[in-house]
Amino acid sequence: MRNLVWFRRDLRLHDNTALFNACKDAEDGVVAVYYLTPQQWSSHDDASLKVNFWLENLTLLSKALEKINIPLLIETCHQFSDVPEAMIALAKKHQCNDIFFNREYEFNEQRRDESVLRAAESPKIGVHRFHDRVIVPPHEIKTKEDKFYSVFTPYRKQWDKIAAECATVLPEPTKQKSINISPDDIPKRVQGFHLEGLPNALWPAGEVEAHRRLETFLEKINGYGNARDIPAVDGTSQLSPYLAAGVISPRQCLVPAIEANGGCVGGDCGAATWISELTWRDFYTHVMVGFPRVCKTQPFKQQTEKLKWRRSEQDFEAWKAGRTGYPIVDAGMRQLNATGWMHNRLRMVTAMFLTKNLLIDWRLGERYFMEKLVDGDLAANNGGWQWSASTGTDAVPYFRIFSPFSQSKRFDPDAIFIKNLCPELADVPAKAIHDLAKLPIALRNAGSDYPGYIVDYKSSRARALSAFKAL
């Protein structure tokens, strides 16, 4: 018996459920495969930076697998629809009786995996699927009416009861019988993606780096509750790219977090707050599975499809470039463009500015984030955007619109972060940066070429309220 393990967004050796089980059951060795699907990735708006991150992690994963006698093969199928036939042909070629993989929950990915199951029926190849990308599988938490939750708080109460039972990490996969199959080289280029000159130095690949970041973060986790909202300080784990690519598992994060929280899942300390962020990851996946329309560019609140969004290419381009005249918004967008990552507080601020103050369709912003983010994940990105746009599940009420000035005053009081990303504001006093009326005067006094407001804040806020009330 030889097994085939199919890697996707689970690019790690340790605590990998499919890999562990494939190794446990194999008698004649294990073969691993990863499919490049560039046309599908392009249609999903995957960022070049993210694809490059995947390739770098694949290189390290291949070396780690080789040490336990598992060759990693790299094949190209431009679309997901090409994968089932290629998968069965590969299994036959290498005499693999069973295929092992971890579940993915997006609509297209689920449809691809179901096609693999059907293709495996005739040749009688076994298919084994595992929940691995989430802590609590989506279907395990339901309302009393056996429906998926659409509000976070009652979902969290159920999640808390189950999560501790899931907080175990698998042993290392066993070393396999050596087989006469050589691993493939990891490509340096992927058609349709520009991988040269990307800022990947900010995101070193590999499990070792992921766990180094986790250990560093655990040393300061008690202060996470306050530090997580301050973009000028290193107060977050910055593990999101590693979780999105599966270089570290959510269980590997949860286990030490529970330990730091005194053995509990809930509470109000820093560790409990971070556990809550892990819960949000599961919740947005739960919503995506229960309400698949969110995978299809549709709002969760279907009545908001009638919103009269503005069409302004000029305003949208200014927002993307970080030249709106609103400092905290521009700083966030410039961080995204420069690093492929944005502080979570700023993701909310920039998203709400686009959807409320500019009244531009959230789907345009969601797509732009995916095109740039190294940690782009459909469930989390869509959930965050629909929360900010008041179109999603458990979203912010439409009349609660963040003021960019109160946000910057509260979370970047000395404008350290803003000035670092917007050097045109270096000579502008922080108090003026946080003041709607004083900023234009301070800009003139400083001789700054920072752009003026592209939209009047008060009238834009009233316009958004009117558009939502019209529903």
CA 183, 172, 164, 131 torsion-angle sign: positive
Q: What is the pLDDT of residues 273-310, one digit of tens each?
A: 999 999 999 999 999 999 999 999 999 999 999 999 99
Question: Is 385 labeled as catalytic in the residue annotation?
Answer: yes
Q: What is the pLDDT of residue 292?
A: 96
Q: What's the mean pLDDT when you consider all of the chain?
A: 96
Catalytic residue from among 203, 274, 341, 362: 362
pLDDT over 80 (residue 338): yes
Taking alpha carbons only, the member of 249, 248, 257 closest to residue 219 is: 257
d(CA 115, CA 345): 39
Q: Which of 66, 140, 209, 277 is catalytic?
A: 277
Residue 344 is a catalytic residue: yes
Domain ranges for the chain, please list them. 3-132, 134-169+207-290, 302-469
Confidence category of residue 201, pLDDT binned at 50, 70, 90: confident
Encoding tokens for residue 37?
């699907």
pLDDT digits (tens, 9 = 90+) for 72-112: 999 999 999 999 999 999 999 999 999 999 999 999 999 99
**Residue whose C-alpha is closest to residue 185's, from 352, 343, 66:** 66
For residue range 4-20, what is the model confidence (pLDDT) as tens digits?
999 999 999 999 999 99
Catalytic residue among 344, 371, 420, 424: 344
Per the residue annotation, which of 66, 309, 420, 424 is the catalytic one?
309
Residue 435 predicted with pLDDT over 80: yes
The answer to whether 362 is a known catalytic residue is yes
Q: Of the listed 41, 54, 203, 385, which one is catalytic?
A: 385
- Give tens-digit pLDDT for 317-333: 999 999 999 999 999 99
| Stronger pLDDT, 25 or 119, i.e. the higher one | 119
- The helix-helix angle for 152-166 and 250-260 (nearest 10°) equals 90
Residue 195: pLDDT band by 50, 70, 90 thresholds? confident
- Provide the pLDDT for residue 423: 98
Mean pLDDT of all residues in 47-70: 97
Measured CA to CA, the distance from residue 44 to residue 52 in angstroms comes to 16
Is beta strand 3-7 parallel, antiparallel or unpaired with respect to 98-102? parallel
Of the chain, the percentage scoring pLDDT greater than 70 comes to 99
pLDDT of residue 272: 95
- For domain 302-469, which CATH number applies: 3.30.720.110, 1.10.579.10, 1.10.730.10, 3.30.200.20? 1.10.579.10
pLDDT of the residue at 199: 65
Record: fold of 3-132: Rossmann fold (3.40.50)
Task: Give the per-residue pLDDT at 25.
Answer: 83
| Residue tagged 């690093």 (tokens) | 339
3-state secondary structure of 130: strand
Alpha-carbon dihedral 263, 264, 267, 271, rounded to 10 degrees: 50
Q: Is 73 helix (H, G, I), strand (E, B) or coil?
A: strand
Q: Which of 108, 280, 371, 420 is catalytic?
A: 280
CATH topology of domain 134-169+207-290: 1.25.40
Q: For residue 363, what pLDDT band results from cuts at 50, 70 and 90?
A: very high
Tokens of 215: 């250990």
